[in-house]
Amino acid sequence: MKDFLLQVTSQQELVPGVFSLTLKGFTQEYEPGQFVQVEVAENYEPFLRRPISICDVEDNNLQLVYRLKGRGTKLLAKKKPGDKVRVLGPIGYGFPLKSQRATLIGGGIGVPPLLGLAKKMHGQGMEVTALLGFKNKEEAILLSEFAKYADLQVATLDGSSGRRGLVTELITNKDDLVYACGPEGLFRTLETLGVKGYYSLEKRMACGVGVCLGCNITVIKDEKELRQRVCHDGPVFPIGSVKWGD
Amino acid sequence: MIDIGGAKLKNPFMSASGCFGYGQEFAKIMELNSLGAIVVKGVSLEPWPGNKGVRVAETPAGMLNAIGLENPGIDYFLTHYLPWLNEKKIPVVVNIVGRSVDEYALVAQRLNETGVTALELNISCPNVKEGGIAFGTSKEKAFEVVSAVRKETSLPLWVKLSPNVTDIVEMALAVEEAGADALTLINTLTGMVIDIETGKPLLGNLTGGLSGPAIKPIAVRMIYQVAQKVKVPIVGVGGITSLDDALEFFMAGASAVQVGSALFRDPLLLSRLPGELESYLAKKQTNLGAIIGLARRNS
């Protein structure tokens, strides 16, 4: 982990409200699933950095794909090529690779961190299936990129692209190790289905480095309840280990 | 060397409790030795689970937190964190919390002969019902708990005061009389954020402690007021984000300062401040002692 001052090389609106920001000079190795803390304004308003998952790193170019949500991401979306942005990272523990086959399951803005994962798995000769779910065709992102590294299937709630329904309905092989990122409802469905693997959590954070305890959750490990920090001990946790709503 | 009630620090910049953990996370990105001291997250007699639900919220020029003093307890601190900190040769100030006078006293007792540099009694956390702020808003209770801890320890005893009182000077005098060697001011101010989508308070604890630049003028004012009335040194804290901010605290009467939530945005700030202060003093051809309390002498 290092605090970088990176230069924006591109800023692109992929679909309305979802941006892809590329910053050059990110010289640290990363594991897919890790995230960075991005300073969005040079003054202290807004006060906190924004935690954003790493979509991909190629030749020290860091790609972040984020959704316009509040005043922080609004300021971030205004950054232009040449602007400097302070970025702390990579933070946390990413997805562990443990098998020859894997199913990646992403929902909405949970999709981006799985791209770097698909690329890494493909690079290691793994057989990768990517199941991506979106509200509709207009919100579908990164499809051609995923198609390079994985057998891609898409689901949309309105059926405007791929299969109509939830992304979890695309699961055919429950024996594959699953790597998921998306809303809590998706994670709970995966738990109900009894699949094994990992999910990457999103939680309101302040420090992002494990000191403030703002993002603490309870996880169950070896039948014991443990307090863990999503930022420092995650954001990736084994499917089924999180005690929801605690 | 700076002397804060018997605690010797090589520079006047410290972490604020709860914003630096027990040092291990920040050690990955900076030299802990650059700090005057590390003030660790509040430690209680038994492990505390902290508050449920949302614990942090961003606010204008600051943030609210309602962690609820989640900590692993004094035994775990002594076996898992303190040996590591002692190896780093950095002064360790242990922030201690309790639900009762006895609990505070027992934690203080356990820290005797452990090599720590000072105790910082937290009688001002707004996020726990018993203990914490209950002691920090009544001068009688504050006197009682500080006196009890004083009997158990010969370590430098700092007391962190709450700004959530009508008369900060009255609290400071009570605590000084009870035997405090220094005062830390201020802790966070109680605040609330309402989620307009749900129509409910956002934080699980309903209220939280406000920190960040938003509270800096209040901290400066309280230090200025208290410094005129007490003899013990003051450790200033509350919204410091730069050397200029720290200078205001010194000029108001603080002998040292702590940096808290600014580290969440600028994690390397504490590693830069000592050098920036040295450059400032050299440029102005002055020394820290001449700056401390300058605003009071000038007004």
Where along chain B do its domains lie?
Answer: 2-297
B26 and A CB contact within 8 Å? yes
A75 and B CB contact within 8 Å? no
Peptide bond into A90 cis (omega under 30): yes
Plot region of A197 (φ>0 → left; ψ -120 to 50 → alpha; else → beta): left
Is residue A118 classed as helix, strand or coil in its secondary structure? helix
Spot the catalytic one: B63, B66, B93, B125: B125
pLDDT tens digits, one per residue of B137-148: 999 999 999 999
| Beta strand ranges found along A54-161 (DSSP E) | 56-58, 61-67, 84-91, 101-107, 127-134, 151-156
Question: Between A47, A213, A215, which is nearest B265 by CB?
Answer: A47
Can you tell me the mean pLDDT for B107-117?
Answer: 96
Q: Which residues of A touch B29 (CB under 8 A)?
A: 1-3, 88, 209
Q: Which residues of A touch B60 (CB under 8 A)?
A: 45
Let me know: does B219 contact B259? Beta carbons within 8 Å. no
Bridge partners of B237, per DSSP, are B258
Cβ within 8 Å, pair B28-A44: no
A193 and B CB contact within 8 Å? no
Which residue, among A212, A225, A231, would best test binding to B if mutated, counting the most B CBs under 10 Å from its CB? A212
Can you tell me the mean pLDDT for B25-33?
Answer: 94
Domains defined for chain A, CATH in brackets = 2-91 (2.40.30.10), 95-200 (3.40.50.80), 202-246 (2.10.240.10)
Cβ within 8 Å, pair B61-A2: no
Higher pLDDT, B1 or A7: A7
Cβ within 8 Å, pair B70-A246: no
For chain A, how far is it from start to end, CA to CA, in angstroms?
Answer: 29
To the nearest whole Å, the CA of A176 is away from the closest chain B CA by 33
To the nearest whole Å, the CA of A43 is away from the closest chain B CA by 9
Q: How far is CA B28 from CA A209, B208, B260, B265, B281, in A?
A: 10, 29, 18, 16, 30
Per-residue model confidence (pLDDT) at position A43: 84
A205 and B CB contact within 8 Å? yes
Q: Is B125 a catalytic residue?
A: yes
> Within its chain, how far is the Cα of B12 from the centroid?
13
Pairing mode, if any, of strands A2-15 and A35-38? unpaired
Band (pLDDT 50/70/90 cuts) for residue B130 is low
Closest by CA position to B39, among listed B116, B94, B119, B121:
B94
ipTM of the complex: 0.92
Residue tagged 């962690």 (tokens): B67
Which of B:98-137 have CB within 8 Å of A? none
The yes-or-no verdict on residue B235 having pLDDT over 80 is yes
Q: Which residues of A touch B47 (CB under 8 A)?
A: none
Q: Counting Cβ atoms within 10 Å, is residue A160 exposed (0-12), middle (13-18) or buried (19+)?
A: middle
**Torsion angle, alpha carbons of B193, B198, B199, B204, to 10:** -40
Per-residue model confidence (pLDDT) at position B132: 64
Let me know: does B183 contact B175? Beta carbons within 8 Å. yes
To the nearest whole Å, the CA of B258 is away from the closest chain A CA by 15
The yes-or-no verdict on residue B185 having pLDDT over 80 is yes
**Helices within A105-142 (DSSP H only):** 112-123
Nearest-5° Cα angle at A176, A173 to A177: 145
Is residue A95 classed as helix, strand or coil in its secondary structure? coil
- pLDDT exceeding 90 applies to what percent of chain B? 94
Peptide bond into B213 cis (omega under 30): no
B28 and A CB contact within 8 Å? yes
B80 and A CB contact within 8 Å? no
- Which residue does chain B place closest to A233, by CA atoms? B25
Per-residue model confidence (pLDDT) at position A166: 94
B213 and A CB contact within 8 Å? yes
The yes-or-no verdict on residue B131 having pLDDT over 70 is no
- 3-state SS record for chain B: CEEECCEEECCCEEECCCCCCCCCCHHHCCCHHHCCEEEEEEECCCCECCCCCCCEEEECCEEEECCCCCECCHHHHHHHHHHHHHHCCCCEEEEECCCCHHHHHHHHHHCCCCCCCEEEEECCCCCCCCCCHHHHCCHHHHHHHHHHHHHHCCCCEEEECCCCCCCHHHHHHHHHHCCCCEEEECCCEEECCEECCCCEECCCCCCEEEECHHHHHHHHHHHHHHHCCCCCCEEEECCCCCHHHHHHHHHHCCCEEEECHHHHCCCCHHHHHHHHHHHHHHHHCCCHHHHCCHHHHCC
A213 and B CB contact within 8 Å? yes
CATH of domain B2-297: 3.20.20.70
Question: Between B57, B261, B265, which is nearest A39 by CB?
Answer: B265
The yes-or-no verdict on residue B288 having pLDDT over 80 is yes
Per-residue model confidence (pLDDT) at position A89: 96
Plot region of A33 (φ>0 → left; ψ -120 to 50 → alpha; else → beta): left
Segment (H or E) for A71: helix A71-76
Q: How far apart are CA A237 and CA A231, in angstroms?
A: 11
What does each of the 246 residues of chain A score in pLDDT, given as a tens digit? 999 999 999 999 999 999 999 999 999 999 999 999 999 998 889 999 999 999 999 999 999 999 999 999 999 999 999 999 999 999 999 999 988 999 999 999 999 999 999 999 999 999 999 999 999 999 999 999 999 999 999 999 999 999 999 999 999 888 889 999 999 999 999 999 999 999 999 999 999 999 999 999 999 998 899 999 999 999 999 999 999 987
Q: Which residues of A touch B19 (CB under 8 A)?
A: 207, 211-212
To the nearest whole Å, the CA of A128 is away from the closest chain B CA by 34
Question: Between B28, B70, B261, which is nearest A213 by CB?
Answer: B70
B288 and A CB contact within 8 Å? no
B174 contact partners, CB below 8 Å, separation of at least 6? B139, B140, B142, B143, B146
Per-residue model confidence (pLDDT) at position B299: 87
The yes-or-no verdict on residue B129 having pLDDT over 90 is no
Q: How far apart are CA A30 and CA A81, in angstroms?
A: 23
Is residue A101 classed as helix, strand or coil in its secondary structure? strand
Residue tagged 């945005």 (tokens): B265
Cβ within 8 Å, pair A1-B28: yes
A206 and B CB contact within 8 Å? yes
Q: Which residues of B touch A209 (CB under 8 A)?
A: 25-26, 29, 264, 267
Cβ within 8 Å, pair A216-B264: no
